[in-house]
Amino acid sequence: MKKYILILAAFALLGTTACNDWLDVRPKTTVGEEELFSREVGFMEALAGIYIKMAKPELYARTLSYGFIDVLGQRYQFGDWGNADFYTFPSARNEATLNSIWRAMYNQIANINNLLYWTDKNSHVFTTDGYYELVKGEALGLRAFMHFDLLRMYGPVYMNDPQAARISYRRDFSRDPQEPLPSDQVIAAILKDLAAAEELLSVADPLLFTFPRTKTDEDILYTEHDVFKTYRQCRMNLYAVRAMMARVHLWAGNTTEAARYAQMVVDSRQFELVDAALDRMRSREMIFSIYVDRFNEQAGRDFFGEYPQYSIASRAFLDAQFAVAEDGANDVRYREGTGFEQSGAVWVSLKYRQAGLWWSTMNTVRLIGLPEMYYILAECAQDYTESARHLNRVRDRRAIEPTSYLTPAAKRTAIEREYRKEFYGEGQLFFFYKRLGYETFLHSPIRVMTDANYVFSIPDDEIIFGKS
């Protein structure tokens, strides 16, 4: 029971397994679904099932966080992960992973659409104030979140070809194939879902971003609050939706709107930059995260085992990642004991070490954090002094000196370095390079990256909800 409490803000699963029964994308007419969605708690269980499946290694617990996406960002030195074939889509080194991501993501979207169907069909079963709005708002936000990541992976380098049709936007629970939409229309659909989610959550989200340090603290929390409404940082909350608005607008080049939404998140005072040396998980910076069952075992193998795959063999490689020659030597995200440690002949990140974490931050992978909002503000600001000020807010809490710049190139370099440092193990760096169409980047095995080296291939058979 404990794992479900931490995953989903105590979703009151009552020991049932119904949420797993409908997650196989079955027809809406099944008796199991009629029974599941005849009760308010059934919607909570179904929503829990979606978050649980998001937190599988093939999605955000590894592949789309510190795994395959960060391999493409050239974060590690292990085996042949520096091979140029990783950027040929498809190739023997990536095809199975690309197909798995595609199918898992669209399967999740189908589950979300099924939940949304029943949420409206059986809205009368909701009896607790705010539960309907929370369930529907979160589901809409998750549908937008997953479509956006599909677009970031399988879509074009957007600034070069916003009309390229690569993915479909699934709004219905159906196995019928759909034609891919122009990418700018996919962006519009994502923003429409996010706007609807924002409207629902703005009236229902209790904004309880809670971080108990001990089991006793957690028990007290449960006696004082509706447990379904706690741990909002583990679910698609109102400010996760607004942070997504900022992220999506930036991808589309709408800097005014991107900055507006990023500033809304910063101004909310729901989150704060913390001293990363004292709080390795940066708890109060978490806007949206997932709980990963048995993550201590997974991370133990991946980072701290006898032959850790997600490791760096050369100190020079690590130093370049953190710009040590310029200003990174004192950065707590780099330093021995707070950022990295040497394990045998390799260096490994401490970001996912579970020992010594608070009760409420164990087994957690951050999907959106407050520093990204400052980086968006820095990128969107026209004035160099204002731009640097946003970067320096984060740099100050990471124990490095302020930066400044006077040219567009220097500004981009400063922001890129912060992405490299802050998002190690989180899968965001490759998307930064793709969004800006980098022709090369640090440690890239490709001499000149073309658009084709950034666009994932879609499965040939297209058996999951799409058409090529």
pLDDT of residue 358: 87
pLDDT at res. 328: 78
Spatial separation of the C-alpha atoms in residues 18 and 375, rounded to whole Å: 41
Phi then psi for 381, rounded to 5 degrees? -70, 135
pLDDT for 28 beyond 60: no
Q: How far is Cα 277 from Cα 193, in angstroms, rounded to an integer? A: 38
Report pLDDT for 284.
95
Percent of the chain with pLDDT over 90: 81
Q: What is the mean pLDDT of residues 384-403?
A: 97
CA triple 390-332-303, angle to 5 deg: 120
Residue 393 has pLDDT above 70, yes or no: yes
Average pLDDT score, the chain: 91
- Position 30 scores a pLDDT of 52
Q: Looking at residue 29, what is its pLDDT? A: 41
Q: Is the pLDDT of residue 466 over 50?
A: no
pLDDT score of 75 more than 60: yes
In terms of Cβ atoms closer than 10 Å to its own Cβ (0-12, 13-18, 19+), residue 148 is buried
Average pLDDT over residues 19-47: 70
Closest-CA residue to 422 (of 444, 390, 447): 390
Whole-prediction pTM value? 0.93
Q: Which residues pair with 369 in a beta bridge?
A: 286
For residue 21, is pLDDT > 50? Answer: no
Looking up tokens 């929503």 gives: 47
Q: Which of 223-227, 336-340, 419-423 has the lowest mean pLDDT?
A: 223-227
State the pLDDT at residue 178.
85
Tens digit of pLDDT for each residue in 101-160? 999 999 999 999 999 999 999 999 999 999 999 999 999 999 999 999 999 999 999 999
Write down the pLDDT at residue 8: 44
Can you give the pLDDT at residue 126? 97
> Across the strands, what pairs with 348?
341
